[in-house]
Chain A
Amino acid sequence: MITITEEIAVPSTPSRVWEIISDPAEVVSCISGAELGASHEDGSFDGTLVVKFGAVRVKFAAVVALELDPETLEGRLTARGRDGQRATRFTAEATFRVRQGDGETRVQVDGEISLNGKLASLVEAGAGAVVSRMTKEFSDQLIQRCAPERAPEAAPGIALVTTTTTPPARSLFGRLRAWWARLRRKEAHAKAE
């Protein structure tokens, strides 16, 4: 069992952080080696993740479910899947909370990852270190994603008067996937009501 307990300080507003962290496409873009797949009717979606344990590259495929509460800015992610060799299964559960900090936004992430199968013996204690590094990388990416977009350098003699909070441009495919994911979430929300 690998435990994640991480508090990320993001120099941005809670609403901006929530906008990113509640969007699967955005979250995936913060994780190196991750890709988003098809969405399912129940609101879950497929995902793949390539992880390097030592010198060995392992590709996992998972079904991911995301429950979001925009009122409290809290979410819960569950993922369940196995690797390409079909030798190892994994489950992951994580909750995240976005709250206002002292001049910044704090994101509290608590989670557990369980590996069962051949890989578990292969990676031993190193899996925890790998997850720890991935969490750090995710934190760095999240901070970058949430940062206000830098305005173009002002021409000499022209005053810079505005800043923008527009999210970084995404590819058409990325925008479509994000739109689809949001649509599915709304549908799921409507059904729940």
Chain B
Amino acid sequence: MKVYEVLAQAFVAEGTSDVFGMMGDANMHWMNALAQRGVRLYEVRHEGSGLGMADGWARAAGRPGVVTTTSGPGVAQLATSMICASRARTPLVAFCGETPWGDQSAVQYLDQRRFAAAIECGFVHVSRPDLAAEAVQKAFYLARTESRPIMLSAPIDVQKQECENDDYVPSLNLLPRVRSLPDPAGIEAACEIIRDSKRVVVIAGRGARRADAGEQILRLQEQTGALLATTLQAKNWLCDRTGYHVGIAGLYGNKAAMELLQEADCVIAVGASLNHYTIEHGYLFPEARYIQIDTAPHVVMGNGAVADCYLQADAVTALTQLSQALESRSVRLDGYHTADVRTRLTIPPVEFRSEPGRLDPREVIQVLDTELPGEIGLVLGSGHQTDFGTMLFQRSREVMSNYGMFGAIGQAPLLTIGAIVAGGNKPAFVVEGDASFLMHLPEFETACRYDIPVLVVVMNDEALGAEYHKAMASGLDPELAVIPTPELGQVAVALGGGGATVRTAEQLRAALNEYVRNPRPTVIDVRITRDVVSVPYRRLLYGEDV
């Protein structure tokens, strides 16, 4: 058997079902072997885009995504998307071809090991035919256990050699399946902290959602009279289950939520690392003591400190034991659960500020939230426009955000395409800026080619929105950030999908209804005003108490 076949077989044994990437001399044999084994190949228009899709796939599936490139230039294209995936702690394996082993004069030669290190990616080399299968196992093992991207680099001459086909042991078989139980002394300490508290906040993160600990969180919230907040990655989770949900903890919280959270004297974090975004470097909870439940051995929070009580445990088990312990000690708090707090959390109506032919971005978000059913997942993009959706989407649905993952624009549509593939081609929409969408425009054609039902809502202010508003605040010329765009609805149609350019709320509703009736690759180019500045920008750039 050829090495590329052994490699392909090992990928299949690791559970690889979908591979994104571009074919070239150094990976085409391997791709051919994958296709023969039933793996679906998604040929993209740029290797970095393929990696973005594999990133989205992995985040949605909760297991390693796979991207492939040829040698040298193919690998070099991965840079930005790889760093994003690394910052997002996405488990991923990049199968990269390589020029013949040792031939540094080859035109496509690149020191791929050093390049991988520079783009924050682990590296495993296929240096001998007899170690090929072991290299695949190691790459997947590292991706799973370290939750990060790993580059598996295979010289083309090694790939074409013969080797034995031994029984392959998937990396999952090397991982123990154990539940981590909380230390009883830790449960005791947590009870004491809660007993001494008056205003408790529970922060649910991505880890709690993955552990499906919703019911246990709601029970603890009820026992402790707590406000429930989420991290950005768990946005809107459980918001339809309690009247004391304050949305995202951090800069994206509304004014009432920010004020209430600052009154907390106890924070219970579940599956949330409490990074500096969530706790605003500690400023959001100046008087609070922290209880943190996480499976990691240890976590340093975003204020540079460790929790007052850290419980290394599975979320469901720890929460169940904590609730039982509170009940047995008759600890029960009213905390925030008062009529006054409910009143404060009522969102006041907003007066929209449209201009002829351009919508208020807040109205756009409201229409999207109303018209798109909760089963349609959401991915939030980048730039100034993202703030509106991140703060204002209210409906409970699957939400993925790329905020804070290297700050690169253009990634969100790629993540969405990957996530849709992982979810069995269920429709999802992404809200993205015009510059971001245009950066990887050719991949909309990829979505059309594979009939991936992605809805791209382009919040089109015909500018680099973030730079426009920062220039305004800094006394620079904002017009330098203005870049006109063509009608992107027509562009989408030309690429083989559905499309519309809308300038009124009615036109937007009509275009959304068309997508809901017939989900297919679609772009809705929504023209928005630049006159509305988002709440986070008003806070950051102008110090406004809003």
Question: Could you tell me which A residues sit within 8 Å of B by CB distance?
Answer: 52-59, 83-85, 87, 118-119, 122-130, 133
Tell whether, in the assembled complex, residue B282 and residue A126 are in contact, meaning their CB atoms are under 8 Å apart: no
B residues less than 8 Å from A83 (CB atoms): 283
A residues less than 8 Å from B77 (CB atoms): none
Instruction: Give the interface segment out of B119-127, B397-405, B538-546.
Output: B538-546
Q: Is B281 an interface residue (CB 8 A)?
A: yes
Contact of A124 among B253, B283, B303, B540 (CB under 8 A): B540
Nearest A residue to B282, CB-CB: A85
Nearest A residue to B257, CB-CB: A55
Contact of B539 among A58, A126, A128 (CB under 8 A): A126
CA distance A134 to B545 in the complex (A): 13
What 8 A-B pairs have minimum CB-CB distances, sorted nearest first?
A54-B539, A126-B543, A55-B258, A130-B543, A118-B281, A129-B543, A85-B282, A124-B540
A-B contact pairs, 5 of them (CB 8 A): A54-B538, A58-B283, A85-B286, A87-B282, A123-B543
Nearest A residue to B474, CB-CB: A125
Tell whether, in the assembled complex, residue A54 and residue B281 are in contact, meaning their CB atoms are under 8 Å apart: no
Q: Is B46 an interface residue (CB 8 A)?
A: no
Known A56-B258, A87-B304: A126·B281 in contact at CB below 8 Å: no
Contact of B281 among A59, A85, A127 (CB under 8 A): A85
B interface size (C-beta, 8 A):
27
Q: Is B280 an interface residue (CB 8 A)?
A: yes
A residues less than 8 Å from B281 (CB atoms): 85, 87, 118-119, 122
Query: How many whole Å from A118's CB to the nearest CB in chain B?
Result: 4
Query: How many whole Å from A159's CB to the nearest CB in chain B?
Result: 48
Known A85-B282, A125-B540, A126-B540: A54·B473 in contact at CB below 8 Å: no
- The main secondary structure of chain A at its interface with chain B is mixed
Tell whether, in the assembled complex, residue B303 and residue A87 are in contact, meaning their CB atoms are under 8 Å apart: yes
Query: How many whole Å from B111's CB to the nearest CB in chain A?
Result: 34
Tell whether, in the assembled complex, residue B303 and residue A55 are in contact, meaning their CB atoms are under 8 Å apart: no
Known A123-B540, A126-B539, A126-B540: A56·B474 in contact at CB below 8 Å: no
CA distance A126 to B286 in the complex (A): 20
B residues less than 8 Å from A84 (CB atoms): 286
Nearest B residue to A59, CB-CB: B286
* CB 8 Å contact bits of B273-294 with A (1 = contact, 0 = none): 0001000111110100000000
Query: How many whole Å from A27's CB to the nearest CB in chain B?
Result: 22
* CB 8 Å contact bits of B238-273 with A (1 = contact, 0 = none): 000000000000010101001100100000000000
A residues less than 8 Å from B276 (CB atoms): 118
CA distance A52 to B544 in the complex (A): 9
Query: How many whole Å from A164's CB to the nearest CB in chain B?
Result: 38
CA distance A58 to B276 in the complex (A): 15
CA distance A5 to B76 in the complex (A): 50
Query: How many whole Å from B415's CB to the nearest CB in chain A?
Result: 26
Tell whether, in the assembled complex, residue B546 and residue A54 are in contact, meaning their CB atoms are under 8 Å apart: yes
B residues less than 8 Å from A56 (CB atoms): 258, 262, 280, 283-284
Query: How many whole Å from A68's CB to the nearest CB in chain B?
Result: 31
Tell whether, in the assembled complex, residue A122 and residue B280 are in contact, meaning their CB atoms are under 8 Å apart: yes
Query: How many whole Å from B106's CB to the nearest CB in chain A?
Result: 44
CA distance A124 to B542 in the complex (A): 9
Tell whether, in the assembled complex, residue B259 and residue A55 are in contact, meaning their CB atoms are under 8 Å apart: yes
A residues less than 8 Å from B304 (CB atoms): 87
Query: How many whole Å from A103's CB to the nearest CB in chain B?
Result: 34
Please indicate which of the listed interface residues B258, B276, B282, B283 has the most CB atoms of chain A within 10 Å of its own CB.
B283
A residues less than 8 Å from B474 (CB atoms): 125
A residues less than 8 Å from B544 (CB atoms): 54, 126, 129
Nearest B residue to A87, CB-CB: B281
Tell whether, in the assembled complex, residue A124 and residue B541 are in contact, meaning their CB atoms are under 8 Å apart: yes
CA distance A125 to B546 in the complex (A): 16
Tell whether, in the assembled complex, residue A126 and residue B283 are in contact, meaning their CB atoms are under 8 Å apart: no
Tell whether, in the assembled complex, residue A54 and residue B540 are in contact, meaning their CB atoms are under 8 Å apart: yes
4 further A-B contacts with Cβ under 8 Å, apart from A87-B282, A122-B540, A126-B541, are A55-B253, A56-B280, A125-B542, A127-B543
B residues less than 8 Å from A59 (CB atoms): 286
Contact of B283 among A122, A125, A129, A130 (CB under 8 A): A122
B residues less than 8 Å from A58 (CB atoms): 283, 286
Tell whether, in the assembled complex, residue A126 and residue B262 are in contact, meaning their CB atoms are under 8 Å apart: no
